[in-house]
Structure 1
Amino acid sequence: MPKTASLRRRPTVVPDPMASLGELLREWLPRQRWFAGKDRPVTELALLSMTELYPGCLHLLVHTGHAGVPAPCWAGPAGDCYQLLLGVREHMAPRLGRALIGRAEEGPLAGMTVYDALHDPRSAQLLLERLRHPGSAGPLRFECDPSVPVPAGLPPRLLDAEQSNSSLVYGDEFILKVFRRIQPGVNPDLEVPRALADEGCRRVPAPVAWFSTTHPQDATLGVLQPYLRDASDGWTLALRALGTGDHFAAQARELGQAMAEVHLALASAFPPGTHGENGRTAAAMTERLDSAAHYVPALKPFVPGLRSAFGALATCDAGPPAQRIHGDLHLGQVLRAGREWFVIDFEGEPSRPLAERCSAQSPVRDIAGMLRSFDYAARQRRPWRPEWARRCREAFCAGYAARAGWDPRKKHGLLRAYETDRAVYEVLYEARHRPDWLPVPMAAIERLAVRGD
C-alpha cells in the first residue's frame, strides 16, 4: 500500500492521531447512517484505542462527546463509542471516492488522505484473513468456529442498505457485521445466535467467526455468519406484496410460527425471567415517554393518553414469563429463503444499554415490534391500506399462537402497552435519524393515545 513506510516513519501517529483526524471526523461522523448523534454537534473526540490492523489501515475506537460533556474512559450516557477502520494513503484510488473522509492538514498524518477502509476491497479481504486465522493484534482478538471452513480469496462487497452497522458480504457465502456503536460486554448478536445453535434452532444463522477488543474494556466488534444468498428480507417482500395487491397473510402467519419457534428456543437457552414485573415495566415505559416528549415536542399533546396504556399494564394479565427476546424485531430483521423464515440481528435497540438489551423481557415486546412493522410497510404506499396491515397483524398473531401455545391477541392490555412503547421509541428514532419518516409513528401515537387497540 502506498506510503506504508511513511506511516512507520512517523512515531507520533500512534500516540496522537486525533491531531490529524479530529476535524475530519467531526464533519464526517454526523453524516453516517449509523451515527446516533446527528442532532447534536460533536464537540469532543477522544481516542480510546488504536491498532494498526495492517499497513495503511488503522483500527480506532473513539468516544464522541456533545455539548461540552467531558469524555469518560468508555462511552456512557454523556456520549458514545464508535468503531472505525480508517485507510490512510497519500493518494486514494478514484474507485474509493465514496469512502473519502478527507485530507489531513496537520498533525502526524498531514498530507495523507483518510477514508473508510471498509469500502476498500483489499482492506476487506485482509480483515477476512484475520478472521480465518485466530489470533490477536494489540487489544484485538480474532476467533472462529473451527468446524466451519472459510475459503480464502472470497470477493467482498459492502452492503449499501441503510442500517445501524456496516456489513460486508464475502462471495455470497458469508456476511460480516461490523458493529459501529460499541458498548462493553458480549454483543447479543454473537451471544444469542451461538446459544440458539447449541439448541438446534435452525431459524438463526450460527456465527462462524468474530472479533473483539480487550481495551479499554472487553467488547464485541464484529460477527461473521453464513449469508443466505437467495433470501429476501421481510420488508422488501411486504412492499412487493403491497405493490402487487398480495394480502401477504399466508407469509405473515408462517412468520408468526417461525418467531414462536425462536422464542421457545430462547426460553430454553437462557435462564427464565419471572411473572409480576408489569408495574416496574410500566414505570420504565412512562419514564421513556416523558424523556421522548421532552426531546420531540410533537409528542406532548398525546402524553396523557399514552400514559393510560402504561397505567393499564400495571393491572392487566401478567402474560407469559419474561425471557430472553430479540429486542428489535421488525420486517427488516427477518429473511425468507425458499419457504422458510429466518431471524437475524439480535443486537437489540442500539440506543438502549447493553445490560437492558440482554435482560429477560416479555416476548410481547417482540410481537409488538413486528405488528408496528406491518403498519410501517402499509404506510409506504398511497392511499394508505390499513386493512392490509390489520390482516397481516391478525395472521402473524394466529401463526404465533399455533406454535407458542398462547395467543397474543388475548393479552390486549399487554399488547397495547408494548406497542405504545415501541411507537414512542420510533418517534424518537425517526426524529434523530430520519425526520421525513416521523409522520409514520406519529400516526400510531395518535391512535394509541385515543383508542385501546
Structure 2
Amino acid sequence: MSALTDLFRDWIPHQRWFGGKGREWAEVTEDGFFLDRGNPVLSVHRVRIRYTDDVVETYLVPLSWRDHPAEDLEQALVGAVANEGNETYAYDAMRDRESTAPWLIHLAQGSAIGPMRFSPAGEGDIPEGLPGDIVSTEQSNTSLVYGQEAILKLFRRLEPGLNPDVEIHDALRRADNPHIAALLGHIEIDDPQGGDPATVAMLQTFVPNASDGWRLATASVRDLYAEGDLHADEVGGDFAADSERLGAATASVHADLARVLPTEEAAAGWLGTVAQQMSDRLDAAVEIVPQLQEHAEALRQVYAAVAGSEEPVVRQRVHGDLHLGQVLRTATGWIILDFEGEPARALAARRELDSPLRDVAGMLRSFDYAARHLLVEQPEDTQREYRAQEWAARNRAAFCAGYSEASGMDPCGESPLLRAFEADKAVYECVYEARNRPHWLMIPLQSIARLAGRG
C-alpha cells in the first residue's frame, strides 16, 4: 500500500461527504493525475474503496501540494509524504483557495487533461481567474463560489453516467425555464474500464442576494410563535404567498421537464410495484425505529390503497429530493436547486421516470418540518402544537393552490399515491432521525400518526 493510500484511509472517513461511515474497509486503491503544475500543484485522484461485503465506491479527491506547511490551511491538511528526502504536504484542494482557479480556466477553454474533459455549456461567461470560496454547509458534495458570478459543484462520489443535476439543468436551460440557475458547463472523467464517463462537476450561474427557503419558512414560524393571540394569516411574517408562488414554480419546472424529456403512462403494474417497495422499506424501518410498529398496519393499508388504485399516472423526470432547503427566493421569484435526487440512491435509480407527486409530497413534508422544528425538546404546549399544525396546513394548501393554478391540476386532492408518498417519506425521515438526530424523531412520528389515522 502506497503512502498516499495510507493518507486516504486515515483522512476520508472523517469527511462529511463520505457515505460509507461505519462500514469496514477491505482495500483502498487510487489513481491520479496532475491538473495544474503551478504553485501550488493541483492533482486529482480517484479513490476506490472496497468494503468487506465486496461493495466498491469511488470518490474524487483533488489535492494541492506544498513544499512547506501552510498554517492557514491546517484544517485542510490531508497529510505529508516523503519526496526525495523531504516532505511534501497534501491539502484538500477544495479548501485551498490558491488552487481553485484552474477548474474554471479549463472549463472556459474546453480542455481535456488526462482522463478529464471540460465542457462549457456555450451560454454565459465563465469567470476565469477568480478564486473559489468553499460552501461549508454541504453534506454529500463540495461547492465553490466564485465571486458573485458562478458556483462549481464537485460530485464527490463517482458513478458511471451523466449526473441528473447536469442533465436536467441542461434540459431546463434549453426550455428557457425561469426557475433555475443557468448551467455554464460540466466536467466528466473517463472510466478506466471503458464504461460510461462519470460526472465530476457542474458550473452554474451564482444567485446573489437570494434567501434560502428553509430559513424564510422557519422565520415565519418563529414570528407566529412570538404572537400568542394571532392566527397564521394574521402575522406579519406569513409565508403563504411565498408558498403559493413556490407551488407555481414547481409546476412550471414539471411542465417543462415533461415537454423536453421523456414521459410515459405508467404501466398497469407500476402502482403495485411502488406500493410493495414502500411496504418493504417500512418493514426494514420498523427494525430500526420500533416506535413505527404501532402505525405499521395502518401504513400498510395506505400502501395497499395505492396498489388497488386506478389513478392515472404519467411518469416523467422529477426533482427527486424537493424540500425547502433546495429552493432560493430572489427578487423575481423562486429558483429550484439540486436536481441530482437523493444522493444515497444509485444514479440509475435517480434517473428513472416517476410521478411529479413525489416532489409535491417532499415539499409538503418540508412544511411539516418547518412548522414543528421549534417544538423539538420543548415542554409539551398544546397551543403551540395547534399553531404548528395551523401554519403547516395553511402553507401546504397555498403550495397546492399555486401548483394547481399554474398547471390546471390539483396535486393535493384525494390521491392515494400522494398520501403514500408522504407516508413513505416520513418513514425514511424516521430512520434518518433515529440514526442522526434522535431528538427530532418526534417530527416524522407525529406526521405518520396523522397520515396513518386518516382512515
| TM-score (ref. length: structure 1) | 0.87
| Cα shift readout 1:153-205 (whole Å, capped 9, x = no counterpart) | 22321111233211111011101111112211000110001111111211112
- Closer/same/farther in 2, CA of residues 81 and 429 from structure 1, 3 Å limit: farther
The residue type equivalent to 1:406 in the other structure is M
Counterpart-to-counterpart distance in 2, 1:296 and 1:237: 31
| Residue in 2 that maps onto 1:262 | 253
Counterpart-to-counterpart distance in 2, 1:273 and 1:110: 62
Residue 241 (structure 2) pairs with residue 250 (structure 1): yes
Counterpart-to-counterpart distance in 1, 2:350 and 2:85: 39
Give the counterpart of 1:220 among 199, 204, 228. Answer: 199
Give the counterpart of 1:388 among 384, 388, 391. Answer: 391
Counterpart-to-counterpart distance in 1, 2:143 and 2:438: 24
| Residue in 1 that maps onto 2:357 | 364
- Closer/same/farther in 2, CA of residues 146 and 408 from structure 1, 3 Å limit: closer
| Residue in 2 that maps onto 1:96 | 73
Matched position secondary structure for 2:373: coil
Matched position secondary structure for 2:74: helix
Counterpart-to-counterpart distance in 2, 1:244 and 1:266: 36
Matched position secondary structure for 1:443: helix
Residue 98 (structure 2) pairs with residue 116 (structure 1): no
CA drift of 1:358 comes to: 0.9
The residue type equivalent to 2:308 in the other structure is T
The 8 Å contact of residues 172 and 256 in structure 2, kept in 1 or not, is answered as yes
Residue 51 (structure 2) pairs with residue 51 (structure 1): no
The 8 Å contact of residues 38 and 433 in structure 1, kept in 2 or not, is answered as no
Matched position secondary structure for 1:408: coil
The 8 Å contact of residues 253 and 399 in structure 1, kept in 2 or not, is answered as yes
The worse-fitting range, judged by mean Cα deviation, of 355-364 and 243-252 is 243-252
The residue type equivalent to 1:415 in the other structure is L
Matched position secondary structure for 1:62: strand
| Residue in 2 that maps onto 1:11 | none
Residue 134 (structure 2) pairs with residue 158 (structure 1): yes
Give the counterpart of 2:446 among 443, 446, 450. Answer: 443
Counterpart-to-counterpart distance in 1, 2:449 and 2:83: 53
Counterpart-to-counterpart distance in 1, 2:85 and 2:33: 15
The worse-fitting range, judged by mean Cα deviation, of 299-308 and 405-414 is 299-308
- Once the two structures are superposed, the pairs formed by residues 139-288 of structure 1 within 5 Å of their partners are 139-216=115-192, 217=195, 218-245=197-224, 246-275=237-266, 276=268, 277-288=270-281
Matched position secondary structure for 1:63: strand
The 8 Å contact of residues 214 and 325 in structure 2, kept in 1 or not, is answered as yes
Counterpart-to-counterpart distance in 2, 1:102 and 1:386: 51
- Closer/same/farther in 2, CA of residues 236 and 41 from structure 1, 3 Å limit: farther
The worse-fitting range, judged by mean Cα deviation, of 106-115 and 238-247 is 106-115
The residue type equivalent to 1:65 in the other structure is R
Matched position secondary structure for 1:380: helix
- Closer/same/farther in 2, CA of residues 436 and 180 from structure 1, 3 Å limit: farther
Residue 350 (structure 2) pairs with residue 344 (structure 1): no
Counterpart-to-counterpart distance in 1, 2:443 and 2:85: 45
Matched position secondary structure for 1:208: strand
The residue type equivalent to 2:219 in the other structure is R
| Residue in 1 that maps onto 2:59 | 82
Give the counterpart of 2:12 among 29, 41, 55. Answer: 29
Matched position secondary structure for 2:444: helix
Stretches of structure 2 lacking an aligned partner (at least 5 in a row): 225-236, 376-383
Matched position secondary structure for 1:410: coil
Give the counterpart of 1:62 among 8, 24, 47. Answer: 47
The residue type equivalent to 1:178 in the other structure is L
- Closer/same/farther in 2, CA of residues 19 and 202 from structure 1, 3 Å limit: same
The 8 Å contact of residues 164 and 340 in structure 2, kept in 1 or not, is answered as yes
| Cα shift readout 1:325-376 (whole Å, capped 9, x = no counterpart) | 1111001111110140111110001111212211110110000000111111
Matched position secondary structure for 1:223: strand
Stretches of structure 1 lacking an aligned partner (at least 5 in a row): 1-17, 71-77
| Cα shift readout 1:381-432 (whole Å, capped 9, x = no counterpart) | 1355222111111111111111111112213311110011212222344455
CA drift of 1:379 comes to: 2.1
The worse-fitting range, judged by mean Cα deviation, of 249-258 and 90-99 is 90-99
Counterpart-to-counterpart distance in 2, 1:117 and 1:209: 20
CA drift of 1:113 comes to: 2.7
The 8 Å contact of residues 81 and 181 in structure 1, kept in 2 or not, is answered as yes
| Residue in 2 that maps onto 1:408 | 411
Matched position secondary structure for 2:90: strand
CA drift of 1:295 comes to: 4.8
The residue type equivalent to 1:137 in the other structure is I
The residue type equivalent to 1:288 in the other structure is R
Size of the alignment, in residue pairs? Answer: 425
The 8 Å contact of residues 273 and 361 in structure 1, kept in 2 or not, is answered as no
CA-atom RMSD, angstroms?
2.4
- Closer/same/farther in 2, CA of residues 431 and 62 from structure 1, 3 Å limit: farther
CA drift of 1:143 comes to: 0.9
The residue type equivalent to 1:34 in the other structure is W
- Closer/same/farther in 2, CA of residues 135 and 100 from structure 1, 3 Å limit: same
| Residue in 1 that maps onto 2:369 | 376
- Closer/same/farther in 2, CA of residues 369 and 107 from structure 1, 3 Å limit: farther
The 8 Å contact of residues 263 and 325 in structure 1, kept in 2 or not, is answered as yes
CA drift of 1:316 comes to: 2.5
Identity %: 42
- Closer/same/farther in 2, CA of residues 284 and 116 from structure 1, 3 Å limit: same
| Cα shift readout 1:74-124 (whole Å, capped 9, x = no counterpart) | xxxx242211112233433122122122334x7999843322110111211
The 8 Å contact of residues 164 and 180 in structure 1, kept in 2 or not, is answered as yes
Counterpart-to-counterpart distance in 2, 1:291 and 1:59: 38
The 8 Å contact of residues 37 and 432 in structure 1, kept in 2 or not, is answered as no
- Closer/same/farther in 2, CA of residues 211 and 434 from structure 1, 3 Å limit: farther
Residue 22 (structure 2) pairs with residue 39 (structure 1): yes
CA drift of 1:249 comes to: 0.8
The worse-fitting range, judged by mean Cα deviation, of 123-132 and 427-436 is 427-436
